[in-house]
Amino acid sequence: MVLFGLLMVYSSSFIFAEERTGDGFTFIKKQLLYAVMGFGALFMASRIPHQRWYQWAPLAVFTVLAMLVAVMIPGVGSRVGGAQRWINLGLFRFQPAELAKLVGVMFVARQLVRHQRELHDFRKGIIAPVALLLPMMALLLLQPDFGSVALLVGTTFVLMYLSGVRPLFLFGGAFGAGALGALLIATSPYRLARVMTFLDPWRDPAGKGFQVIQSMLGLHNGSLFGQGLGNGKEKLFFLPEAHNDFIFSVIGEELGFVGVVGVITAYVLFIYRGLKISWIALNERQDRFGFYLGCGISLLLGLQAFINMGVGMGLLPTKGLTLPFISYGGSALTLNLLAIGILYSISKANRGSFYEAE
């Protein structure tokens, strides 16, 4: 999937990069570097017994909180496209929100294991798993990054359901989260505009609806077998963020329905394999932390993929979430591959590569 992503980043960004920087290979060279960093992170994470993350999760949460605060400091944080989500590290920019999603899932998995016998209690079953996630989410909303918050909330609720938290607590929490989400949308002009655009993008086809309409046009132009790799037209300054948030539309236009089905199938298989690894950890080794962490990583990346594709097809409001392993972006690719390394370490433990003495 990463190799396919490199191919599509090159195809979707060459003309844009040449116009902006004078070098059509700018984005693909950076993405190659990010891929090397990501596979290095994957290798290192795969060598670390995943139980170590149980011990490190609280420290990781506080580290992420410090990073999210640093994003808001002038001169440290970097603003792009109206959002302040990056820390400027000189040679490249780092997006703490990508780390926040992984660390958030890690912390929830730890808390569910820690309070496994007390999940019937509201304080232990609901408050304890999300106690440190709430300030993290608040800082993400200030960036603003509503998509990452929604993704983290959704994954957290699924993990709570799998852990056996009382349905009454979950329904109450879901109702509260839904009401808060509706309030945030209603009180934010740009979020409300996104919802209105989602409902009827042709209300403002040259303005707020332009991106979604161009995305759907690209998918329409792809037909069954596509226009051919490199032959898409929407990436020629019609579709904004063609190599990033809307790379799925470029795939649809150039590789057609067949390419789209192939990508969707790849993510379905990824989710299936991730959940199978997690299920083996629970049933054969009674490793609840491995189960929750594996499920969390699989669902986090899988749900993000389907949200991104849903946005590209006009089925969901624009969220600003990348397509895992495929979209351009250093922080996302590196940390997604780090997460795969953790998932792989759970798989190695299932095969007896770790903890043989136990």
- Do 296 and 350 fall within a single domain? yes
Using alpha carbons, select from 113, 204, 159, 174 the residue that is nearest to residue 303: 159
Domain count, the chain: 2
The tokens describing 169, both together, are 């607590």
State residue 84 phi and psi, 5-degree precision.
-105, 90
Q: What is the pLDDT of residues 122-139, one digit of tens each?
A: 776 677 778 888 899 989
- Do 80 and 136 fall within a single domain? yes
Q: What is the pLDDT of residues 63-78, one digit of tens each?
A: 999 999 988 887 777 7
- Do 40 and 122 fall within a single domain? no
- Do 151 and 28 fall within a single domain? no
- Do 163 and 137 fall within a single domain? yes
- Do 34 and 133 fall within a single domain? no
- Do 75 and 19 fall within a single domain? no
269 lies in which domain range?
Answer: 1-47+204-358
- Do 2 and 100 fall within a single domain? no
- Do 303 and 337 fall within a single domain? yes
| pLDDT of the residue at 356 | 43
- Do 153 and 271 fall within a single domain? no
The tokens describing 335, both together, are 């940390």
Q: Is position 231 within any domain?
A: yes
Say yes or no to pLDDT of 176 above 60: yes
What one-character-per-residue DSSP string does 107-123 give?
Answer: HHHHHHHHTGGGTTSHI
What is the rounded distance in angstroms from the CA atom of residue 25 to the CA atom of residue 15?
9
What is the rounded distance in angstroms from the CA atom of residue 224 to the CA atom of residue 181?
38
Q: What is the pLDDT of residues 274-313, one digit of tens each?
A: 999 999 999 888 899 999 999 999 999 999 999 999 999 9
- Do 130 and 182 fall within a single domain? yes
**Average pLDDT of the chain, as a whole number:** 88
Could you tell me which residues come within 8 angstroms of residue 124 by beta carbon, excluding any fewer than 6 positions away?
A: 115, 118
Q: Is position 194 within any domain?
A: no
Q: Is position 33 within any domain?
A: yes
Highest mean pLDDT out of 150-164, 170-184, 298-312: 298-312
What is the rounded distance in angstroms from the CA atom of residue 221 to the CA atom of residue 14?
20
- Do 103 and 124 fall within a single domain? yes
Q: Which residue has the higher pLDDT, 192 or 148?
A: 148
- C-alpha R_g of the chain: 20
| pLDDT of the residue at 201 | 86
Q: Is position 192 within any domain?
A: no
Q: Is position 290 within any domain?
A: yes
At residue 357 the predicted structure's pLDDT band, cuts being 50, 70 and 90, is: very low
Q: What is the pLDDT of residues 34-47, one digit of tens each?
A: 999 999 999 999 99
Q: Is position 232 within any domain?
A: yes
The tokens describing 208, both together, are 């707020």
